[in-house]
Structure 1
Amino acid sequence: MNETFVRLLCPDCGKSWERKPKELPAHTDQFACDGCTAQRRTAEFARTDRDLDVLKQFQ
C-alpha cells in the first residue's frame, strides 16, 4: 500500500516539502512554513490543485 503525501510550497520563501495529510491542520486552519515561519491557511501551501484535493479528502 502506498502512503499518500501532500506536496507543499511556501508562497513567501519558496521552500518545498512533503507531509502526510493527517499531519497537517485542516485546509482552512493556519499553518506555518518549516523554513521561514510564514503563517497562512494550509490550503495556500498546497503546491497543486491535486495536493489541495488530497488534503481536503483526508481531513
Structure 2
Amino acid sequence: MDQTTVQLLCPECTKDWQSAPRELPDSTSMFHCPNCHATRRTSEFMRTDRDLQTLNQLG
C-alpha cells in the first residue's frame, strides 16, 4: 500500500520534511512549523504547486 506524502518547507527557518496530507489542516488553515513555530497558512508551507494540489485533493 502506497502512502501519499507532500513535501513541506518552512518559509522562515527553511526546515523541510514530508507529511501525509490527511495529517495536515486544509490549505487555508493556520499551521505551525515544528522547528521554529512560525505560523502561516498551510499552503505557504507546500514546497511545490503539485504538493498543494495533492493536499487539496487528499487532505
Which residue is 2:19 aligned to?
19
Which sections of structure 1, spanning at least 5 residues, go unmatched? none
- Normalising by structure 1, we get a TM-score of 0.96
What is the RMSD computed on CA atoms of the aligned residues? 0.6
TM-score normalised according to structure 2 size: 0.96
Which whole-Å CA distance do the structure 2 matches of 1:6 and 1:24 have between them? 10
Per the alignment, residue 49 of structure 2 pairs with 49
Overall identity of the aligned pairs, in %:
54
- Between the aligned partners of 2:35 and 2:18, the Cα distance in structure 1 is 13
Name the count of aligned residue pairs. Answer: 59
